[in-house]
Amino acid sequence: MRKDLIKEQLPVYDDPSGSGFTSIFVTLPIEYIFHDAELNPRPISEKYAKEGKILWCKIDEEEWKQIEKMVTRIINHKLWEAKDPIVVEAIGTTKKDIAEKLLTEGKVGEQKVFEPPINSSYVLDIRL
């Protein structure tokens, strides 16, 4: 049987951001895939890495500035300098629920261990 004649119907997904792009998900041998420089996922080039641009969608300079501010807020949070063994252990955990509660609520278990938590209000610099 010639595999190149196999046809299969696949669901087509619309980009939820409204870009007009559609996509499908399929597993193919690598030699069948054409490397389209615009759309095909590819390794991060040195040029983009130096610029700090590692997302593969169209983002204008103002959006990059906003992303940079949010990442900077996360990186500069005092949590990363924690010395408390409970907090240090929670930072290093691989358990999603523990890490999520630590970051988004500032808690380990029910104990509040730092303020402010790294939640969307903090990252977006929204003062409630």
CB 34 within 8 A of CB 28: no
Among 87, 83, 78, which Cα is nearest to 111's?
Answer: 87
The model's pTM:
0.50
Q: pLDDT by residue (tens digit) across 12-64?
A: 888 777 777 777 776 666 555 555 555 555 555 566 556 655 555 667 788 88
**Backbone conformation region of residue 50, classed left if phi is above 0, alpha if psi is from -120 to 50, else beta:** alpha
Q: CA 74, CA 117: separation in Å to the nearest integer?
A: 10
Gap between the Cα atoms of 33 and 38, Å rounded: 14
